[in-house]
């Protein structure tokens, strides 16, 4: 059986990303291992501390920034996170200053919203209706 262990988002600043993903989104830091100028830096959901990890990966590779910019220009999220109630979570995040590019929107069996993670990505939150 295959399962998700680690997935990543490319970030332009690991310190800023760690603050955003922990202090604003509510993830918890799991691993932080120095690797030269950067770090192996992962966060997890506090509801699943042994579950899948999100790697806050530096976007220094020459192909990454144009890729990220193209996704943002087209409004395509780099990742999607599950929440219980998209409208309530969007309201909470907006209260913390998070900028949304798509307000909560019913889309068939799900409701989605999209916001800027301040690290060069659009992130989607979603909940099944």
pTM (2 decimals)? 0.95
Domains (range + CATH), the chain:
1-61 (3.10.180.10), 68-129 (3.10.180.10)
pLDDT of residue 129: 86
Instruction: List, for residues 24-35, the tens digit of each pLDDT value.
Output: 999 999 999 999
Give the residues of the chain that fall short of pLDDT 70: none
H or E segment to which residue 65 belongs: helix 64-73
Q: What is the pLDDT of residue 63?
A: 97
**Residue 47 C-alpha from the chain's centroid:** 16
CA–CA separation, 58 vs 54, rounded Å?
Answer: 13
102 phi, psi to nearest 5 deg: -140, 115
CA dist 110 and 49 (Å) reads 25
Q: For residue 40, report the phi and psi dihedrals to the nearest 5 degrees.
A: -85, 105
């Amino acid at each position: 059986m295959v399962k998700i262990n680690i997935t990543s988002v490319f970030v332009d600043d690991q310190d800023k990303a760690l603050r955003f993903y922990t202090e604003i989104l509510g993830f918890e830091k799991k691993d932080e291992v120095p690797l030269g100028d950067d770090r192996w830096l992962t966060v997890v959901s506090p509801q699943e501390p042994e579950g899948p990890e999100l790697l806050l990966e530096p976007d220094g590779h020459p192909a990454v920034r144009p890729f990220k910019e193209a996704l943002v220009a087209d409004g395509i999220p780099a990742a999607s996170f599950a929440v219980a109630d998209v409208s309530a979570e969007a309201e909470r995040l907006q209260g913390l200053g998070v900028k949304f590019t798509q307000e909560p929107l019913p889309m068939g069996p799900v409701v989605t919203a999209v916001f800027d993670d301040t690290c060069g990505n659009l992130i989607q939150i979603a909940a099944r209706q």
